[in-house]
Copies of this chain bind each other. A is one copy, B any other.
Amino acid sequence: MDASKYKDINLPDRILLGPGPSMMPARVSQALSMPVIGHLDPAFLAVMDDVKDLLRYVFQTENEFTIPVSGTGSSAMEAALSNFIEPGDRVLIGVIGYFGERMVEMASRYGATVDRIDADWGEVLDTDIITTALKKHPYKLLALVHGETSSGALQPDIKAIAAAAHQQGALFLLDTIASLAGSPVKVDAWDVDVAFTASQKALSASPGVAPITLSQLALDTLSKRKSPVGNWYMDLTAIQKYWGGSRNYHHTAPVHLNYALREALRIVAEEGLEARFARHQRNVEQLWEGLEELDLEMLVRRENRMHTLTTVKAPPGADADQVKQRLLDEYNIEIAGGFGPLAGKIWRVGLMGHSSRKEYVTLLLAAMREVLSSA
């Protein structure tokens, strides 16, 4: 082995304006470089307690069970579904884009009979249609995506939808991966039973841990399971024994990612949720106005747009992939393209967490003007 062919790591300074990861504050980087300690060390248990506490603030909940699982956002989605599905359960899933499709796929793998309610990518679901669908069968749960990063649409009316689910005896699961900490998510006020997110979107921590919170109704449902959870690593009852009182070993927690998450959450708390939501709204509105001035059209109608991610239609004649590539090569700016039915048709611009900054919006608009005029 000639080790000398592997050089010192040398990464470009990117400006991350895609669907995540977002920019990370310097304080979060510093937390990552803190010394490693054991996952059962009293000093690490104190870090865990702060993380749980701060997560409750961000999820706007009193839920005791509020922890990060040790994987990325998709693993939290799978934790949410696998823990509440037993083989043969019937579930209802709203699909307004790629991540709704992913939930359908995951639920099927855990043996659920899945019914789905679809809207075109870029649209949202009508509350009446959901309410009607919920009455067709007794459902174990209803699962929706709050902010659909594949389309840029934000599902409104969550409180009424949660109430409709509970009316029919179904649990209500909400994917807040792309919305939490960038726009309001009120777990308790909306009566959401299971909400989950990712670390590297509007929280601006390092990817690889994913927070999840469970209501009392969710905990009661867990305690009544007849079969073990299909997924051992994401078995929330076992994980809670480590994160909760008894501190039983389950798996080695990613200690550095938890340091980073704690620091990122502390920054959210210092800014305050309301100020943070207002900042995201202010910056995204500047983006929308600037894009319109460039004669670009958004995919999603204004009232349903996410504040953390904007989908922009590539104009006729523009090569969407080439524009994206030039922004990366010439300006070190990362934005994303579309996929599925939107492949080659849109750009996805994320202003999430530490990436939601006026200077980035101004730069991106100026860079797009230059690139589009010289395409």
Per-residue interface assignment for chain A, residues 4 to 25, with 1 indicating a CB less than 8 Å from any chain B CB and 0 otherwise: 0010010111101010111110
Whether A255 contacts B38 by the Cβ 8 Å rule is: no
Per-residue interface assignment for chain A, residues 248 to 287, with 1 indicating a CB less than 8 Å from any chain B CB and 0 otherwise: 0111111111011011001001101100000000000000
Given contacts A75-B71, A233-B75, A266-B3, are A255 and B36 in contact (CB under 8 A)?
no
How far, in Å, is A17 (CB) from chain B's closest CB? 10
Cβ < 8 Å to B, chain A residues 166-205: 198, 200
| A50 neighbours in B (Cβ, 8 Å) | 6
The stretch among A104-112, A130-138, A294-302 that forms the contact with chain B is A104-112
Cα–Cα distance between A65 and B178 once the two chains are bound (Å): 31
Whether B16 contacts A38 by the Cβ 8 Å rule is: yes
The stretch among A27-35, A139-147, A217-225, A365-373 that forms the contact with chain B is A27-35
| A322 neighbours in B (Cβ, 8 Å) | none
Cβ < 8 Å to B, chain A residues 55-95: 57, 70-75, 78
Q: Which residue of B lies closest to A102 (CB)?
A: B232
Q: A1-B272, A20-B252, A70-B71 are in contact. List 7 more A-B contacts (CB 8 A).
A: A6-B50, A23-B36, A70-B72, A71-B71, A71-B75, A105-B232, A230-B231
